Amino acid sequence: MSIQVSLKAFRYQAGSKPRFERYQVTVPDDANVIDVIEAVWSQHDRTLMFRHACHHASCGTCAVRLNGYEKLPCIVSVKEALAGREEMVIEPLRNFPLVGDLVVEVVSFFQKQAASGMVITREAEPSLDGQPYQRSEVFAEDGTLDDRPYNRFENCIECGICISACPTMSATDKFFGPAGLAAIHRAIQKTDDHRQKSWLLALADGEQGVWRCHSAFECTEACPQNVNPAEAIMALRRELIANKVKKLMRG
């Protein structure tokens, strides 16, 4: 069954004024919001710029503000988006330079992510179900058997939602931001190298580090992947303060 959906989308093209445009599109009744955006593109305007790739919350490209709040439209149903309202409102993320329409420039985000050196894959950990991932015997390159733990991609999909939700990021770019600091925290957890660890801690303690966070917790609230960046920031602070106290005690 198909339904008619009304939406108001933010439009902007370099050299002209930003504006809102209203659309009516037809989508299946079980569609998600990304399907609505795509329908605007295919049914009304092929010049609409929006980001999307995987449609299952893994690529992290499609993040927008839906009815004001940061969401991944690929995992929000039309029904949810229209709960208690006549039309949905779709805007680009905050705190990023605007390229056009719903597309923002995410270069600064990836640079901050790269600062931690955290790679995208993580060693296996207990899954969400509490079932442990078990060690398996897998094939080595030469075809012989090789003992190796399972691995998987990090939970953070680098969608930029936390940056958009963070009030501190609204006025300053000199801050690693929630995802950047969560990545530093993950990188510290992953490494056994003492020097690497203290280097990462110094990074977190630096002028772009954890002390620029003022406890709004919007990142954790908005994160679609339960990364909980705020907790990572506070864990880093606790460790930094504990280290300082220890140093003081030792004189």
Partner 1 sequence: MSAPHVIVIGAGSTGAATAHDLALRGLRVTVLERGEIANCTTGRNHCLLHSGGRYCVKDQESAIECIDENMILRRIMPDALELNDGLFVALTEEDLAFKEKFIAGCEKCHIPYREIPVKRALELEPFLNPKILAAVQVPDGVFEPFRFCLAFLATARKNGAVVRTYTEVTELARSGQSITGVKIRDHRTGKMEVIGADMVVNATGPWAEKIAAMGGVDVPVSPTAGVMVTVNKRLNNMVVNRLDKPSDGDIVVPQRMTSIIGTTSWIILDPDQIEIPKDHIERMIQKGREMLPAIQYAVTRGVGAAARPLIRKANADEREVSRTFECFDHKHDGVEGFVTISGGKTTTARGMAEKVTDVVCAKLGHQAECHTRTTPLLSYRLFYN
Partner 2 sequence: MRTDSKPRRVWQWGDVRQRKVGTWAYALNRITGLGLVLYLYIHLGVLSMLVGGPAAWDPFIKVVRSPLFYTLDVILIAGWLIHGLNGLRVTLTGIGLALGAQKALFVGLMVVAAIGLIIMAFMVFRS
Partner 3 sequence: METQMDNAAARVPAASWAWIWQAITGLGLVVLLALHMVAQHFVAEGGIRDYADVVAYLRNPLIVVLELLFLITVTAHALLGVRTVLFDLGLSDSAEKRVTQALWGVGVLTVGYGFWLTWVITR
Residues that bind partner 3 (CB under 8 A): 168, 171-174, 195-196, 198-199, 202-203, 205-209, 211-212, 214, 237, 240-241, 244
Instruction: Characterise 154 by phi-psi region: left (phi > 0), alpha (psi -120 to 50), beta (else).
Output: beta
- Distance in Å, CB of 126 to partner 2, minimum: 19
Q: Is 138 helix (H, G, I), strand (E, B) or coil?
A: strand
Considering only 85-93, 114-122, 190-198, 209-217, which stretch makes contact with partner 1 by CB under 8 A? 114-122
What is the spatial distance between Cα 104 and Cα 50, in angstroms, rounded to a whole number?
9
* Partner whose footprint covers residue 124, from partner 1, partner 2, partner 3, none (CB < 5 to 8 Å by kind): partner 1
Residue number, 115 or 124, with CB nearest to partner 3: 115
Cβ–Cβ under 8 Å, residues 27 and 36: yes
Please name the residues in contact with 74: beta carbons below 8 A apart, sequence gap of 6 or more: 32, 33, 34, 52, 54, 55, 56, 57, 62
* Tokens (6 digits) for 221: 């609230």
Residue with tokens 């600062």: 115
Total chain residues near partner 1 (CB under 8 A): 59
| 175 counts as binding partner 1 under rule CB under 8 A | no
E strands in 67-183: 69-71, 88-91, 98-100, 103-104, 121-123, 136-139, 145-148, 151-153
| 228 counts as binding partner 1 under rule CB under 8 A | no
Residue number, 193 or 242, with CB nearest to partner 1: 193
Considering only 148-156, 162-170, 173-181, 208-216, which stretch makes contact with partner 1 by CB under 8 A? 148-156
Footprint of partner 1 (CB under 8 A): 13-15, 28, 30, 32, 42, 46-47, 49-61, 74-75, 99-100, 103, 106-107, 109-111, 113-114, 119-121, 124, 127-129, 131, 133-134, 136, 138-139, 141, 143, 145, 148, 150-155, 157, 225
